[in-house]
Amino acid sequence: MWVPKAILTNLCGVSQKIKNPNQKGNGFVIGLVALVAVVVVVIGAVVFIGRSQPIKDVPNEDVNFSVSLDGDVIRIGQENAKDAKTAVVFEDFSCHYCADMSNGGHADELQALNDGKMVIEQRTLNFLDGQRVEDRDGHSTRAYAIARMIAESGNAKAYWNYHNMLMQQQKTAVSWDNEELAKRLEQLGVDAGIVEKVRAGVDLSEAQVSATANSKDLEKRIGSVSSPHVFVNDKDVLENISGAGGLESWVKAVLG
């Protein structure tokens, strides 16, 4: 069949521009690499912004005392407080009565510690985690494991604010995952090494053993395990405080 030369030329021109659909040029590869790079940068920016955003409910009180870890005891108070009353406090981070006591007596406790009138020896429990003693790995145990690390670091301000944060926000703190908790610890000024351990998942073994020892200590004193209890000269000063609302006066009971 005869085809006009002009049409034949156009058809040939078109056919020369058609490429194998399976053939990928350098432009395609470069474009793909650029797209992946952009996605990585965007994800990195989102993670950075998310971690750097301040959390409004993190306390930031200054303190005038020290903190240390001594075996199963976390000691807070001025090191050379000559006439200070020593209060041995048994508490569980999941105990709502402990939260009532901590929150209600917060101002009195801070002032007594800052003024050198009181030294606290905290013996933390984890019985409210509910499993067998050797298998307890819930909120109480994790919170205590972190408290031990902060106390051992000697950062009194971070420890004080960490403890109060968990007591003030007890109902929600139990649901914080490692990342959420790590963000709060960063804002509290906790050492970076501790923050990364929390982010990766805290080793609970030492806290489990220590909390068990504290439970045994309390059981020797009163014949059972419960919380809170505050001992001054081996006497539980909370015995004379009636009702949950009266727990706010525990510091006054210690100081006499």
Both structure tokens of 196: 């990364």
What is the pLDDT confidence band of residue 102, given thresholds at 50, 70 and 90? very high
Query: Where do we find the tokens 């019985």?
Result: 127
Give the span between the Cα atoms of 198 and 158, in whole angstroms: 15
Task: Please tell me the predicted confidence (pLDDT) of residue 55.
Answer: 84
Question: Above 90 in pLDDT, residue 111?
Answer: yes
> Could you tell me the CA-to-CA distances from 19 to 11, 15, 22, 26 in Å, in that order?
15, 9, 8, 14
Question: Above 60 in pLDDT, residue 17?
Answer: no
Which helix (H) or strand (E) is 228 found in, with range?
none
Query: Where do we find the tokens 């090191």?
Result: 79
178, burial (CB in 10 Å: exposed 0-12, middle 13-18, buried 19+): middle
On average, the pLDDT of the chain sits at 87
Q: 16 or 60, which is more confident?
A: 60
Q: What is the pLDDT of residues 181-208, one digit of tens each?
A: 999 999 999 999 999 999 999 999 999 9
Q: 26 or 107, which is more confident?
A: 107
Give the span between the Cα atoms of 139 and 143, in whole angstroms: 6
Query: Where do we find the tokens 């930031």?
Result: 60
Give the span between the Cα atoms of 105 and 90, in whole angstroms: 15
Top mean pLDDT of 50-54, 124-128, 242-246 is at: 124-128
β partners of residue 87: 120
Task: Please tell me the predicted confidence (pLDDT) of residue 37.
Answer: 65
253, 242 Cβ separation under 8 angstroms: no
Give the span between the Cα atoms of 25 and 49, in whole angstroms: 37
Question: Above 70 in pLDDT, residue 57?
Answer: yes
Q: Kind of pairing, strands 235-236 and 118-125?
A: unpaired
Q: What percent of the chain has pLDDT over 90?
A: 71
